[in-house]
Structure 1
Amino acid sequence: MCPTIVQLIPKPWLCLLQHMKYMDYNQVDIANRQTYNKTSSHSLFVVTGGQGSIDSLDNRDTRLEKGMIMFVPAGRTIVIEGSCELQYYRIELMVAEVKEDKASRLSITGETMQHDPPAFISDPDRLPLIELNYSPWSSCLKSLEQILHGLTAQDWLDQWEIQLRFQEWFRVLLRQNDPEIESPDDRARLQSSIRYIREHYDQPITVDDLAAEIRLTRSSYTRQFKEITGKLPLDYVNAVRLEHSKLLLQMTDDRLHDIAQNVGFNNEYYFGRRFKQYTGVSPGLYRRHHRQEVRVFAPYLEDFVLALGIKPILQTSHRSWGRQQYLGLEDVPEFDVTQLDIGFNETNVPEFIMLNNGYQRWNLERFEQVAPTFYMEHEGEDWRSILKSTADILGKVNRVQDVIGAYEDKAVEAKGQLARHARGQTVALLRISSSEIILYGNQYGYVGPVLYQDLGLTPHFRVQQWASQSRRVGIGLEQLSQLEADHLFITFDNMDSAYPGEERKLLERDEWRRLPAVISGHVYEVDFMTWMNYGVISHGKKIDDILQYLG
């Protein structure tokens, strides 16, 4: 009889997150093998990429692949082997004990401990590994990413928030795998169907056949499949095929017709159409970008292009705001997006154009006839996805993790330094023009995710009250008077100014002079183009500015 997690941990609501680490075998120089000896804590292994196996040293070898969650009871020794693509979270649990003292009061002690096995297991070494599922998978990964990102929190309230997030994730996991609530047979059969798709993507696949194979109706199969993967079955099949086609385009000189056939598409035309829908570029262009440098024009996306080691042939400028000087592109010609009649001259015609979601504001779609054009669909706050998409279509995928890792290391170090110097002090950012005062929120926009999430600074409560769910909000002088933050970062927007310096007239008003941050000298002017941009370089410069003033 195989025990359940609840039998091994009778009171799972007393589980806390003890330790969490993300393992990427591409960055582990130990022959892609990890040994976990008899640990004193229960562990969860959440596989996010690649394939491998888990050997429990009792002649049982379990295959690991993306989407699997494996519970390993305390006291077991396991060995995990995998290809260089294998990636997983290792989560160690701390189980608190609740005891009743002599005064009839509950006392809770948090210990990492090895519990006695269920009565029907005589040998702790024989406790089985338990495979679990979590759907939707995207929600699982998002929660774990947020938890891992918050582990460096210094403030006890932030640490408590991380434990609450973990316990909510763990509760959902156990609930979805409770045999009295879920249908393990259906879930197991769906997982086997997904594995079949991954292994037989190059063969003819229909939804009717997939559903019939696991004895479900087409509608029930489609519904349950989307709950697990977040995609419709055929969209998932095509995604698997197209990801494999990317590798063939990068690594071989095979004709497009042959690549289409090898990954399961009936003809080259349909393959090409689906590939462009999926990636934003044609297969031929994708292959070319992975083999040679490209002359790229990427208005207001230069940050991402440059971070990947590609210098754009033009840099965006604006008649009022100027250019993005923080990028250091002094030798790159400027392209003023406010001049709608401007075009390219014969020395700077691009081979490829990248546009973000602000292209319509500058009428940049008019250049579609000049060169192949890629439209970035990700929101600016999701700069990691923008960077990954940019790297994919420009052939710089191998640089992405280094760029992201360098930023995250910088943010973690800065967060620790700021926790020591700015603990308990509140912060706000204002964008000031001649016509309005803009307060930036704490969750979205150019600065919120950096200041308040990556660096853990405390927003003034008015920031949360007025702009918590917005990127930015306009405020009047009465509201400004209530913004009693300890520190104010400000930047000036001169686009509406009728004369030089008009945007600074606010600094002469009594409402401004009476602000606590102004009185104490804790107002810091920052560069407009640096702070009013998304991108890993921009965000890194913001961290430098913040450390200069608060660190």
Structure 2
Amino acid sequence: MNNETASRRYPFVIYIMTGIRKLHMAPFSSEKCKGLDGEYMLFAVMDGAAEVKIGSRSFGLIRESLIVAEPGQAALCSTQANSLSLYFVTFKAFRVSDTAAWRYESPEAFPCIGALTCVPFSQCVDLLETIEQHSPDDNDLMRFYNHVRFEELIRLVLQQNTRATPALNLRDSVKSSIDYISDHYADQMTVSQLASDANVFQWQYTRIFKELTGQFPLEFINKLRIDHAKQLLLKTEDRIHEIAQHVGFNNEFYFNRRFKKMEGIAPGRYRHHHRGKIRIVSLLMEDILLTLGVTPIVQWSHAGWGRQEYLRLDTVPAFDVLQNSFEPLATFNPDLIIARRSDYEYRTNQYEQCKRFVQTEIITHDDEDWYSTLRTVANRLGRIDQAELAIQQYETKAAKARSRLTRSITNRTYAFLRISAECISVDQTYTKPFLWGDLGIVPHPMVQELTCEAGRKGVTWEWLQELEADYIFFAFDKWHEQEAGSERRQVTHPLWQTIPAVRNRHAFEVDFMTWMNHGYLANSKKIDDVLNRLVN
């Protein structure tokens, strides 16, 4: 077999990831990104909106945007009224040859540059999330697994984008039109007129507009007008019809209808709620409210787990969420109920009952993504500054803690055990994003091999005896059918003392409700717990 035939058994070009970061940008902020010599840059947007300038080109960044930039380029991401969450990845291209060592390839080695497609985008995000989680791994096999994941991501991108490239001149024309709309939102305009002014067919204009902004033209215009109307409602004493005309609505009835559809509340009530002291119920999101300086009128409680004691809401009435109906919440006279998506999905009937007597809104972010949840609630309550300050303070505290831990416990591993009367389970859902993601403490390989579902079902004493994690954090789960306190019998079992970390006195009890929560207050308390036990 000759070399030419043999070379066809592997690709001529291979792509190697050199770096990955998960970025969270606050509204009205900017972030410079640049690869090293020969590095491509990839941007994958999970949520929010912004603009990125790469060289002489500008791209709109919206949810599910994917952009690749050539080596040697600098990128500047800038947000306006929206925050932005994205992955920033750098990678290099190498040519594989029988006769020569691998070498950096020219920019043309990666055929897809600019705004790209990756469908389903959730698959792209899943790959990036796993890659980012495992990027600190030092084990060669784990690094190889991560390389395979990255090559799978590249395969998805190449497969969907090698046949077509957007027409730059058309996108630039629509981009200029968007800039014009942003400056003249109060003027009367139609889509056909805007397309004509941009010298683009209307169907092309609408499609490219949606690609750049995530919205159709009229949706974009109406949102601009409503956003400015919200500011005027809070900052002026102008009448509703005057504000409607000022932002571009000739008809007050239509303005009211659009405003309520977008904000879930009429303009007059919006002004009243945000200027006065709003009475809010947000069960299991009290951490978020308190971070924003809002005290809930009632707090989450659970017959098995109790209250969130770490919040110190001793004077706030408790509401047991295990009851069949949430209609008794009406007796607290709330103005607004805010619920998490996961809690709503679990208690749909109860929250649907609430909609009969009060405005009820659902936050769609995942529970562990407390940054996005905090920003969403802050935007709803007009407290963006408090949210950004809290996030900045938390990131500073976490960075300092991570630095101290790096100096003190390098290459140490952990496991988190959730101990109930029936079993001992391994938690990753609530604790892994914090311990590994924020503080850089790596889960023991035996923990990493467990799926979240398998860990929840419980592990055997034999498994625990083989667990050689340097540290064990554990919390007692009091929700079970046995007598009160029986969960603590697990740590008096003779085999508990045979677990290596327990034997070495490196097993630490922590508060269950604090560690089974996500939020500024909970995570700040967790940092204190970790430092007090591992460093101080």
Normalised TM-score (structure 1):
0.68
C-alpha separation in 2, matches of 1:544 and 1:279:
38
1:429-440, aligned counterparts within 5 Å? 429-440=416-427
- The secondary structure found in structure 2 opposite 1:473 is helix
Corresponding position of 1:317: 301
Please report how far the alpha carbon of residue 26 of structure 1 lies from its aligned counterpart in structure 2 after TM superposition. Answer: 6.2
- The secondary structure found in structure 2 opposite 1:429 is strand
Corresponding position of 2:334: 350
C-alpha separation in 2, matches of 1:72 and 1:437:
50
For residue 386 of structure 2, the aligned residue among 399, 421, 432 is: 399
1:466 and 2:453 are equivalent in the alignment: no
C-alpha separation in 1, matches of 2:38 and 2:237:
50
Counterpart of 2:399, as a letter, is V
Structure 1: gaps (5+ residues) = 1-10, 29-33, 99-103, 110-114, 116-130
1:475 and 2:458 are equivalent in the alignment: yes
Structure 2: gaps (5+ residues) = 1-12, 107-112
1:242-281, aligned counterparts within 5 Å? 242-265=226-249, 267-281=251-265
Please report how far the alpha carbon of residue 406 of structure 1 lies from its aligned counterpart in structure 2 after TM superposition. Answer: 0.8
For residue 525 of structure 2, the aligned residue among 523, 541, 546 is: 541
1:389–1:63 CA distance, 2 compared to 1 (3 A): closer
1:424–1:92 CA distance, 2 compared to 1 (3 A): closer
1:106-505, aligned counterparts within 5 Å? 182-185=165-168, 186-204=170-188, 206-207=190-191, 213-216=198-201, 218=203, 221-265=205-249, 267-339=251-323, 340=325, 343=328, 348-357=332-341, 358-359=343-344, 360=347, 363-441=350-428, 445-467=429-451, 473-477=456-460, 480-481=463-464, 484-486=467-469, 487-505=471-489
1:400–1:41 CA distance, 2 compared to 1 (3 A): farther
Counterpart of 1:343, as a letter, is P
1:323–1:24 CA distance, 2 compared to 1 (3 A): closer
Corresponding position of 1:520: 504
Please report how far the alpha carbon of residue 429 of structure 1 lies from its aligned counterpart in structure 2 after TM superposition. Answer: 1.8
Counterpart of 1:215, as a letter, is V
Normalised TM-score (structure 2):
0.70
Q: Check conservation: 1:434, 1:502, Cα contact below 8 A.
A: yes
C-alpha separation in 2, matches of 1:19 and 1:350:
41
1:183–1:70 CA distance, 2 compared to 1 (3 A): closer
- The secondary structure found in structure 2 opposite 1:290 is helix
Q: Check conservation: 1:17, 1:92, Cα contact below 8 A.
A: yes
C-alpha separation in 1, matches of 2:368 and 2:519:
9
Please report how far the alpha carbon of residue 245 of structure 1 lies from its aligned counterpart in structure 2 after TM superposition. Answer: 2.9
Please report how far the alpha carbon of residue 450 of structure 1 lies from its aligned counterpart in structure 2 after TM superposition. Answer: 1.1
Q: Check conservation: 1:356, 1:377, Cα contact below 8 A.
A: yes
Please report how far the alpha carbon of residue 524 of structure 1 lies from its aligned counterpart in structure 2 after TM superposition. Answer: 1.7
Please report how far the alpha carbon of residue 428 of structure 1 lies from its aligned counterpart in structure 2 after TM superposition. Answer: 2.1
Please report how far the alpha carbon of residue 499 of structure 1 lies from its aligned counterpart in structure 2 after TM superposition. Answer: 0.9
Q: Check conservation: 1:488, 1:522, Cα contact below 8 A.
A: yes
C-alpha separation in 1, matches of 2:24 and 2:459:
46
Corresponding position of 2:6: none
- The secondary structure found in structure 2 opposite 1:385 is helix
Please report how far the alpha carbon of residue 530 of structure 1 lies from its aligned counterpart in structure 2 after TM superposition. Answer: 0.8
Please report how far the alpha carbon of residue 506 of structure 1 lies from its aligned counterpart in structure 2 after TM superposition. Answer: 3.1
Q: Check conservation: 1:497, 1:503, Cα contact below 8 A.
A: no
C-alpha separation in 2, matches of 1:409 and 1:164:
33
C-alpha separation in 1, matches of 2:213 and 2:374:
24
- The secondary structure found in structure 1 opposite 2:521 is helix
Q: Check conservation: 1:299, 1:355, Cα contact below 8 A.
A: yes
Counterpart of 1:433, as a letter, is S
- The secondary structure found in structure 2 opposite 1:330 is coil
C-alpha separation in 2, matches of 1:414 and 1:265:
52
- The secondary structure found in structure 2 opposite 1:293 is coil
Q: Check conservation: 1:225, 1:231, Cα contact below 8 A.
A: yes
Percent of residue pairs bearing the same amino acid type: 33
- The secondary structure found in structure 2 opposite 1:241 is helix
- The secondary structure found in structure 1 opposite 2:414 is strand
Report the number of matched residues.
Answer: 500
Counterpart of 2:409, as a letter, is A
C-alpha separation in 2, matches of 1:83 and 1:252:
26
Q: Check conservation: 1:17, 1:163, Cα contact below 8 A.
A: no
1:300–1:187 CA distance, 2 compared to 1 (3 A): same
Say what the alpha-carbon RMSD is for the aligned residues: 5.5
CA distances 1:121-176 after superposition (whole Å, capped 9, x unpaired): xxxxxxxxxx965678x98x989x989x99x9797999999999999999999999
- The secondary structure found in structure 2 opposite 1:547 is helix
- The secondary structure found in structure 2 opposite 1:363 is helix
C-alpha separation in 2, matches of 1:455 and 1:513:
28
1:438–1:263 CA distance, 2 compared to 1 (3 A): farther
- The secondary structure found in structure 2 opposite 1:419 is helix
C-alpha separation in 1, matches of 2:23 and 2:281:
39
Please report how far the alpha carbon of residue 456 of structure 1 lies from its aligned counterpart in structure 2 after TM superposition. Answer: 1.8
C-alpha separation in 2, matches of 1:243 and 1:251:
13
